[in-house]
Amino acid sequence: MSAVQIRSMTRQELDLGLDWAAQEGWNPGLHDADTFHATDRQGFLLGTLDGEPVGMVSAVRYGRSFGFLGFYIVRPPFRGHGHGLALWRAAMRRLEGRVVGLDGVVAQQDNYRQSGFALAWNNVRYQGAARARVSIAPSIVALQALPQHIVLEYDAAFFPDDRRSFTRHWVMQHGSTALAVLRDDRLAGYGVIRPCRAGHKIGPLFADDAEAAEDLYRALVSQVPEGAVVQIDVPAINPQALALVRAQGLAPVFETARMYAGTMPSLPMAQLFAVTTFELG
C-alpha cells in the first residue's frame, strides 16, 4: 500500500518534473515550466516518500468545466508500489466535476477506460529534419503584431474551455516564434515553434485550410537552422494534416491516445493540424 505524500509542486520543483519527462523521452520545451506553472499554480502534484520526490502528475484546471491530466510519472525505482495510483486518484479528485482530457500511451487505453475515459482520436508525433529555408508567403506575419483579443478568440475555438492565460504565456515563451497567416486582413491560422531538449517542436498549428497550414509550417520551420530536428504532434483523424507532414519528409516516432472522461468536446478537427502540447492539452 502506498504511503506517498502528495502536495502541489513549487515552480522550482516543476523543473525536476520536466527533467523526468525528458528521461521518459517526451522531449519537453526548454522554457515550458514558466508557462505551465502560470496556467494553474496548484495543478502540478508531487508525490514524496520521507521527503524524497518519487513521482508527479498534473491536473490543470481550465475555466469552470474542463481539466487536463498529464505528466503522469513515477520514477523507475519506485514503480509497482501503488504510488502512481495514489497520484492518479489525487489528480482526479482535483478535477472532479469537470470534463477531463489526457494524452496517454496507446497501450494503456484499457486502464484509462476503467476510470471513465473514452477514445477521441490518436495523436501522432512526426519528426524530421528542417529543410532549407524557403521564401515566406507574404500573408505570414508575426503573431505579436495582431491585437491579442483577435488571437485569443481564434484560439478559443480549438479548446473546450477558457485557456486565455495559458495562450498569452505560450505565444510569448522565451525562444519561441509565433506566426500568423492573414487573409483579407483576417486571421486564418497561427502556429508556434519552440526549442526543446532535442530540436524544435511545432504546436499548436491551427489553420482554416491546408494551404494556410502549409504556409505556416514552412514559415515556422524557416525560423530554425537547416537540418535541425523538428517535431509536430498531429491528430491522426485529420488527413490533410497527415498529408502535410508526410510531404515535408517527416516520419512517425510516437503516438498517444487523446481520451476524455465526461462529455466529449466538439472541436474543429479539420482545422486542427497540430495539438499544442501533450502535457496540457
**Cell of residue 163, nine digits:** 485557456
Residue 245 has pLDDT above 70, yes or no: yes
SS3 content of the chain, % helix, strand, coil (to 5): 30, 35, 35
Q: Are residues 95 and 142 in the same domain?
A: no
**129 - beta bridge partners?**
229
- Say if strands 140-142 and 186-195 run parallel, antiparallel, or are unpaired: unpaired
Classify residue 274 by burial, with Cβ atoms within 10 Å: 0-12, 13-18, 19+.
buried
**Cell of residue 156, nine digits:** 478559443
Q: Any idea which residue has 528521461 for its cell? A: 23
Give a yes or no: residue 212 inside a domain: yes
**3-state SS string for 95-140:** CCCCEEEEEEEHHHHHHHHCCCEEEEEEEEEEEEECCCCCCCCCCE
Q: Are residues 147 and 63 in the same domain?
A: no
Give a yes or no: residue 255 inside a domain: yes
- Say if strands 251-261 and 117-129 run parallel, antiparallel, or are unpaired: antiparallel
Give a yes or no: residue 221 inside a domain: yes
Residue 263 has pLDDT above 80, yes or no: yes
Q: Are residues 141 and 75 in the same domain?
A: no
Give me the domain span that covers residue 12.
5-120
Query: In the listed set 98, 120, 142, which residue is the last one of a domain according to the structure?
Result: 120
Distance CA 24, CA 12 (A): 20
219 within 8 A of 140, measured Cβ to Cβ:
yes
Residue 192 has pLDDT above 90, yes or no: yes
**Cell of residue 257, nine digits:** 491516445
Q: Any idea which residue has 495539438 for its cell? A: 275
Distance CA 48, CA 41 (A): 18
pLDDT bucket at 249, cuts 50 / 70 / 90: very high
Q: Are residues 9 and 62 in the same domain?
A: yes
Give a yes or no: residue 279 inside a domain: no
Residue 167 has pLDDT above 90, yes or no: yes
**Cell of residue 250, nine digits:** 517527416
Residue 1 has pLDDT above 60, yes or no: no
Q: Of 210, 185, 198, which Cα lies nearest the Cα of 22? A: 198
For the residues 239-264, what does the mean pLDDT come to?
A: 97
Query: In the listed set 102, 120, 138, which residue is the last one of a domain according to the structure?
Result: 120
pLDDT bucket at 231, cuts 50 / 70 / 90: very high
- Burial of 211-244, coded b for 16+ CB within 10 Å and e otherwise, reads bbbbbbbbbbbbebeeeeebbbbbbeebebbbeb
Give a yes or no: residue 208 inside a domain: yes
- Output the average pLDDT for the chain: 96
Q: Are residues 9 and 91 in the same domain?
A: yes
Q: Of 228, 176, 163, 167, which Cα lies nearest the Cα of 202? A: 176
Q: Are residues 219 and 138 in the same domain?
A: yes
- In this structure, how many other beta carbons lie within 10 angstroms of the beta carbon of residue 19? 12
Give the CA dihedral 102, 104, 110, 114, nearest 10 degrees. -30
DSSP structure string for 171-212 = TT-TT-EEEEEEETTEEEEEEEEEEBSSSEEEEEEEESSHHH
Q: What is the CATH number of the domain that holds 26?
A: 3.40.630.30
pLDDT bucket at 204, cuts 50 / 70 / 90: very high
Q: Are residues 95 and 189 in the same domain?
A: no
Taking the CA atoms of 210, 249, 30 and 124 in sequence, report the sign of the dihedral they define. Answer: positive
Q: What is the CATH number of the domain that holds 174?
A: 3.40.630.90
Give a yes or no: residue 258 inside a domain: yes
For the residues 122-150, what does the mean pLDDT come to?
A: 93
Give a yes or no: residue 281 inside a domain: no
Query: In the listed set 120, 154, 183, which residue is the last one of a domain according to the structure?
Result: 120
Give a yes or no: residue 280 inside a domain: no
pTM, two decimals, is 0.95
145 within 8 A of 227, measured Cβ to Cβ:
no
Q: Are residues 83 and 22 in the same domain?
A: yes
pLDDT digits (tens, 9 = 90+) for 22-69: 999 999 999 999 999 999 999 999 999 999 999 999 999 999 999 999
Number of compact structural domains in the chain: 2
Q: Are residues 130 and 60 in the same domain?
A: no
For the residues 251-266, what does the mean pLDDT come to?
A: 97
Q: Are residues 43 and 109 in the same domain?
A: yes
Q: Are residues 214 and 262 in the same domain?
A: yes
3-state secondary structure of 92: helix
Q: Are residues 56 and 110 in the same domain?
A: yes
The pLDDT value recorded for residue 2 is 66
pLDDT digits (tens, 9 = 90+) for 74-113: 999 999 999 999 999 999 999 999 999 999 988 888 899 9
The pLDDT value recorded for residue 106 is 86
